[in-house]
Structure 1
Amino acid sequence: MAAVLRKLRRRILTPNDKAVLMSERGFHVKNPQSGDLLETIGRHFLKGYAFAAEAKTVEEAEANLEQLPTRFRGFAYEGAGMGYAMRDGLPIGGSRHFARFLAGRARHHEYMAWIGLGWAMARLPRMRWSRFQVADPLMCWLVLDGYGFHQAYFKTQRYVREHHREPAFPWPGGPHAAYANRAIDQGIGRALWFIGGTDPDTTADLIEGFQPDRRADLWSGAGLAATYAGGADEDELRRFMVRAEGYHEHVAQGSAFAATARQEAGLIVPHTAVGLDVLCGGITAEEAERVCRRTRPAGENPDGSEPAFETWRRRISAALVGAEAG
């Protein structure tokens, strides 16, 4: 009976594969190869989500996740993060599923897991958000990155075409509540790489349609997606950087984040190096990880001037610009 209930939970909670089709979403299709790549990423996200929805234990979900191809496994961990967060956020079924998930193999996929929690927040009523208390002063902003990606991906007209922005986002609150929209924009920027079909000019056109004060965060998110997801060759990425004139340090920071996420998870693939070479001054994934680790704040800023997460991003940008200049 328990197995039947788990299968039913998976069927009820997991979106249909149709939800990630480029034709269903109305996204730009650069060519069949890039379209297939982005749809494959979406399907692996949903696989991870389904593993979390149905698994009896975290170890069972991990065993399934670890069988997936290297290129797409991180997206599946992101989906599983969403799945476990959904289970926590629902009024039945207990809690601490996400915490147990993050304590296992997902700790090597920390960025992706937290982003997955943001997807869950986008699907759950706001009255359930109180269940998500993120003590880490850095990771709470990655949650909102995930929220932003979800909204741009599924509510493209409102968040991308109409440039919707909430005047007072309620989570996580606190002294840096105003930063929430910036973190959401970083996720929207990631989504623009998908919405633009990995086409550098289409993605750049979308970014340039936003108000100037939002573009730095959007370019950062797009640079992250271009390095983590791939889909563009070296010449296309060079054109992307031409279009990103004035925002190169932000693209580089996003690219370094992406490489670090893959490096820490042991998921480096050939396009990681291509992305770093063009978008991040030619450093290696190991060097990107060292920069991100060295510059990571130990906690919140004692003077409270800005979120530690923004301090981290600025430090990464400065280190990368300095390395390129040297």
Structure 2
Amino acid sequence: MSTFIGVLRKRFLAPSLASVGFADRGFPVTPTDATARLEAVPQAVVCGFEWAIEGASLWEIERRLALIEPEQRGFAYEGATMGYSILDAMPGGGRNKTRELLEGPGQPHIFLTYIGIGFAMARLPRPLWKNILPELSGVAYHPVMSWLAVDGYGFDRAYFDTKKWVDEQADPEPYPWAGRPEYFGRAFDQGVGRALWFINGGNPGAVAEAVGRFAEARQADLWSGVGLAATFAGGADQSGLAELRRLSGEFYDELALGVVFAVKARTYSSYVPAHTHLAAGVLLDLSVQAAQNVGDRTERADGDDGPEPPYELWRARIRAEFASGAQRLAG
């Protein structure tokens, strides 16, 4: 049950549903049924966050999130992880809530719960980031995919401070996440790319123009984020996805990489919506199962002592699967 302190925390920390909507954020989005589905994503995050920041028990969180429709449930787990991460970072927080969530009912949504940790990072001073990623046991993709927390941080900053991070294309200050400060900006940009899909309401032309305004060196990671968002969250029909594929041009392999990661996240959660099937077919010419197979056969137990983190090595192997497609589209 919620406590009085929990209600106060929610009042001062939780954004309203309206404030995360496209109109309140000032995004140039024409309302349609598709954009309404996209808007439901941050709203689901807010619901999960409100329940967690109130201090609801893990038992209660699990049952509340079960009431969210399967398509949006992972996003609600993002919000719950964000809330628990903030509570754990507070004095006397105990640092256990997030770990128990990720080792328990959050496991099927591990890709998205990492993103929720990134949302918490956006609301906490950097000195508190040191202990924000819990040590997990028996959880697949840990700690390789923990870079999605930095992705989530980039998404949050682009979504809520669009002028600085999108209009002005500011660079984030490096941080030694997983001991790799040199990779921090790249993972951040992957999240910015996801945000561009939402900010532009899934409009392929507007998204491509937004990516193109960034320095060329940043565009590859932005495109991978676009592919992930378009596939996991939806927002475009068949013709829109075909246009997105065409517009990706020389960065097609990056777009495809994002699609594969989105398929991995959806299949791991055991719920794959129709728009994910559509995106895999149009963007990759593959079924969801075949796209998952790409992710599976390129996954390896890389050592973490080379110049690139294992996360990026996996991404590079996926990109290589689609490099000829990039060359064909560019030519």
Whether the 8 Å contact between 2:252 and 2:322 is mirrored in structure 1 is no
User: Which of 150, 156, 160 in structure 2 is aligned with 1:150?
Assistant: 156
Q: Would the alpha carbon gap of residues 269 and 173 (structure 1) be closer, same or farther in structure 2, given more than 3 Å must change?
A: closer
SS in 2 for 1:248: helix
Q: Which residue in 1 is equivalent to 2:170?
A: 164
Deviation readout 1:155-201 (Å, 9 max, x if unpaired): 100000101003x4123162x32111000000000000001111000
Q: 1:318 aligns with which of 317, 320, 323?
A: 320
Give the secondary-structure state (helix, strand or coil) at the position aligned to 1:247.
Answer: helix
1:295 is matched with which residue: 274, 294, 298? 298
Aligned pairs for 1:120-139 (under 5 A) are: 120-133=120-133, 136-139=142-145
For the residues of structure 2 that align with 1:113 and 1:180, how far apart are their CA atoms? 18
Q: Which amino acid aligns with 2:289?
A: E
* C-alpha distance after superposition, 1:223-242 (max 9, x if no partner): 10000111100101111111
The alpha-carbon deviation at position 316 of structure 1 amounts to 1.4
Residues 62, 218 of structure 1: CA spacing in aligned structure 2 closer, same or farther, 3 A cutoff? same
Per-residue CA deviations over 1:30-76 (Å, capped at 9, x if unaligned) read 33323322221121111111121235321210111111112211111
In structure 2, the partner of 1:186 is 190
Determine helix, strand or coil for the equivalent of 2:95. coil
Any unmatched runs of 5+ in structure 1? Answer: none
Alignment CA distance shift 1:2-1:109 (3 Å): closer
**Amino acid of the structure 1 residue aligned with 2:190:** Q
1:267-282 paired onto structure 2 within 5 Å: 267-279=271-283, 281-282=284-285
Give the deviation of 1:13 after TM superposition. 3.0
Query: Contact (CA 8 Å) 1:74, 1:267: kept in 2 or not?
Result: no
Residue identity matched to 2:70: T
Q: In 2, Cα distance between the equivalents of 1:8 and 1:289? A: 43
Secondary structure of the residue aligned to 1:245 is helix
- Deviation, structure 1 residue 107: 0.8
What's the offset of the Cα at 1:305?
Answer: 2.2
The answer on whether the counterparts of 2:204 and 2:240 sit within 8 Å (CA) in structure 1 is yes
The answer as to whether partners of 1:134 and 1:140 remain within 8 angstroms in 2 is: no
Task: After TM superposition, give the deviation of residue 137 of structure 1 in Å.
Answer: 4.4
Instruction: Give identity over the alignment, percent.
Output: 38
Q: Is the CA contact (8 Å cut-off) linking 2:99 and 2:134 kept in structure 1?
A: no
Give the conservation status (yes or no) of the 8 Å contact 1:226–1:275. yes
Supply the AA of the counterpart residue of 2:296. R
Counting only pairs closer than 5 Å after superposition, residues 1-326 of structure 1 correspond to structure 2 as: 3-133=3-133, 136-166=142-172, 168-172=173-177, 174=179, 176-279=180-283, 281-302=284-305, 304-320=306-322
Per-residue deviation, 1:14: 1.7
Runs of 5+ unmatched residues, structure 2: 136-141
Please provide the CA RMSD for this pair. 2.1
Q: Distance in 2 between matches of 1:2 and 1:249?
A: 47
Cα deviation digits, residues 232-259 of structure 1 (max 9, x gap): 0010111111111011111011011111
C-alpha contact 1:137 1:308 (8 A) present in aligned 2? no
Compare 187-196 and 293-302 and name the one that shifted more.
293-302
AA matched with 1:119: F
Work out whether residues 238 and 278 of structure 2, in 8 Å CA contact, stay in contact via their aligned partners in 1. yes
TM-score (norm 2): 0.91
Change (3 A) 1:245 1:129: same
AA aligned to 2:176 is W
**Deviation (angstroms), 1:133:** 4.1
What is the alpha-carbon distance in structure 2 between the residues aligned to residue 92 and residue 98 of structure 1?
14
Runs of 4+ in 1 over 6 A off after TM superposition: 322-325
**Matched letter for residue 172 of structure 1:** W
**How many residues are matched?**
321
